[in-house]
Chains A and B, each alone.
Chain A
Amino acid sequence: MSPAATVQADASPAILIEGLRFRWRLDRPWVLDVPDFQLAMGERWLLAGPSGSGKSTLLALIAGIQRVREGRVAVLGHELTTLSGAARDRLRADRLGVIFQMFNLLPYLSVLENVLLPCQFSAARRNRAQAMAGSATTEARRLLAQLGLDAPGLERRPAAELSVGQQQRVAAARALIGQPELIIADEPTSALDADRRLDFVTLLQRECANAGAALLFVSHDRTLAEFFDRVVELPAINRIPMLG
């Protein structure tokens, strides 16, 4: 990373997309055509859209798992187009938190080990967690407590034994550990019932605010709109009409 890029990073948005077009293969139709999208640092947006509208693909591009071939995607000041696969993996490991719809946890690890997983793959995350609380484990426990998962003995239980709602909160703790600057959540509430859904969104909002992390929260559930700085409809930013 050049010094110029670092300076630029400070002022740059969390996510900047310009003229992005994407298709899975050359002989397949385009699935994304996003002329312009920006999420500022520390902002928390709801990205709404029905399934099949390319949400997961967009998230995979932002997370740096899929390679951007046409257009520009910059995440936390880094141009993904010019980064190698390894550099994108590093960026994701160091500075992004990801929450899935369900089955977020490795079933063979305990709750605590699951939360600490990002620190296994990123020294930067581990160091920041240590700086926050003295040790990564203490930080993981703090996050679990913040998310209401401080029942005695819970942290040592296998992740698979938890309820879906508890699993999602463990996933949130994992995404938040080591202060990532951008959290991407792909329908994290769709497997939860209505009460749990509101609880989860409130908790996630609060923790992102505490950590100063930007949040891109994808959901088709617009009842959650009131909790976010802004609601963006994916069909409004993606010029490709919905598939199927």
Chain B
Amino acid sequence: MAILTLAAKSLWNRRLTSALVVFAIALSVILLLGVERLRTQTRASFAHTLSDTDLIVGARGSPINLLLYSVFRIGDPTNNVDWSSYRTLAADPQVAWTVPLSLGDSHRGFRVLGTDRSYFAHYHYGRHQPLQLAEGREFEDLFDAVLGAEVAEQLGYQLGQSIVLAHGAGEVSFALHQDKPFRVVGILARTGTPVDRTVHVSLAGIEAIHADWQSGAPLPGVHLSPEQVRQLDLTPKTITAFLVGLKSKTAIFKMQRQINEFAAEPLLAILPGLTLQQLWSLMSLAENALLVVSGLVVLVSFTVMLAALLTGLNERRREMAILRAVGARPWQIFALVLGESLTLALAGAAGGLALLQGALLLAGSLLEARLGLTIAAWPPSVHELSLLAIVLACGLGAGLFPAWRAYRYSVADGMTIRI
């Protein structure tokens, strides 16, 4: 105990150096735990996004791409699904429900999703949670829009607000559907999923704003007013993808095969959970690289500690001699220096954890807004605690060398004071 008190006082005496070392260790711990937390929370967040959907169907292509654009609004579809194919498959006796998805437009950086009212009934997230309206109602009219919670909050929109959709998915678009504004009729409760960042309109609405467009541009010389558009047949010709719920889970693989062998056009059906696993195995390479980098940063921080302790040690040979003279044993000198390393590592780990929590509390809402990621601040997971334990073990390991040096000095110097 006396030795630990001495170690603490000695460190305090060199508090600038000690503080810098603690800061370096804390930064490395922030990086290590931050990467780890981002990884696990991203996974949790992704897994949380879709529930109760048995199959996702889109044009044939990469399964991961289909999952990303249909559910996470990441990336763009390569091809569309014919409306007739959708109708045929939706009418299959094994199918309980379907939700059509039509993507491609945006509103001030938020994706616009064309769908029908089955979306509100069957799109589930988290643990079988359905979507709920915080305000207003589902869309009914052609130009009704229902906003995700984040869209409404960020843009400050309220019910009755008139909004203009833009062609394409960019934040800034020069092709606006200015002539056919939509009216906000409902705002969804927050879900912590990409739904929050989506503007929902009817499939017919999507069709209506493109009635006088062709190949992504307005047809020259043709202009249809909203009233004229209402007279047209607004059944969509294509959709981007659709979600499928089956009557019996046992039919999933049979149905998947049936869709993949669909004769009329090349389609792809995926199991969301399975494809998510594929995505993770693809991501694990990058995740591991990040983990290795943050591990290296931890090593660097302990090298800094080692350098600081070893530099100090030569100046402290006098201190060792004094301690030996008043009766300290060589192993107590060893314990003194090792105790200093352990104190630095502990302070660094605790500081890093505290700073990370603080940063997450401050930046949590930003992350949620920008990335749709909810990152829980507390408590640290078992895996994080074991990473912290490894950090402390590294501190102890790094401390062994200067402690051994001090031990050797104290044996060799004895009471001789070398300056």
Contacts and interface: CB of A to CB of B under 8 A. Distances in A.
B417 A101 contact: yes
Q: Which of A100, A122, A186 has the most CB of B within 10 A?
A: A100
Nearest to A61: B414
Interface stretch (B7-15, B354-362, B394-402): B7-15
A90 interface: yes
B414 A108 contact: no
Given A106-B319, A108-B10, A121-B2, A93 B415 contact: no
B379 interface: no
Nearest to B419: A103
B415 A59 contact: yes
B312 to A, nearest CB: 12
Given A120-B2, A121-B328, A122-B327, A105 B322 contact: yes
B274 interface: no
A81 interface: no
A86 interface: yes
A65 B327 contact: no
A139 interface: no
Given A65-B414, A103-B417, A86 B327 contact: no
B107 interface: no
Contacts of B326: 93, 98, 117-118, 120-121, 174
B328 A89 contact: yes
Nearest to B416: A56
Q: Main SS of chain B's interface residues?
A: helix
A107 interface: yes
A186 B10 CA distance: 25
B210 interface: no
B406 to A, nearest CB: 14
Given A60-B416, A108-B9, A93 B322 contact: no
B324 A65 contact: yes
Interface in B323-354: 323-330, 332
Given A65-B324, A106-B319, A98 B9 contact: no
B318 interface: yes
B322 A118 contact: no
A211 interface: no
A108 B11 CA distance: 9
A109 B329 CA distance: 19
A93 B417 contact: no
B10 A60 contact: no
Nearest to A92: B327
B325 A100 contact: yes
A176 interface: no
A107 B414 contact: no
A107 B13 contact: yes
Given A105-B322, A109-B9, A121-B2, A89 B327 contact: yes
Given A98-B325, A117-B326, A65 B9 contact: no
B329 A108 contact: no
Nearest to A120: B2
Contacts of B9: 108-109, 113
Nearest to A66: B414
A39 interface: no
B327 A121 contact: yes
B414 A106 contact: no
Interface of B: 2, 6, 9-10, 12-13, 318-319, 321-330, 332, 414-417, 419
20 contacts: A60-B415, A63-B325, A63-B415, A65-B415, A86-B329, A89-B324, A92-B325, A93-B328, A94-B327, A98-B415, A100-B322, A100-B417, A103-B419, A108-B9, A109-B9, A120-B2, A120-B6, A121-B328, A121-B332, A122-B327
Given A85-B329, A121-B2, A121-B327, 19 more contacts: A89-B329, A93-B328, A94-B327, A98-B325, A98-B415, A101-B417, A103-B318, A103-B419, A106-B6, A106-B10, A108-B10, A109-B6, A117-B323, A118-B326, A121-B323, A121-B328, A121-B332, A122-B327, A174-B326
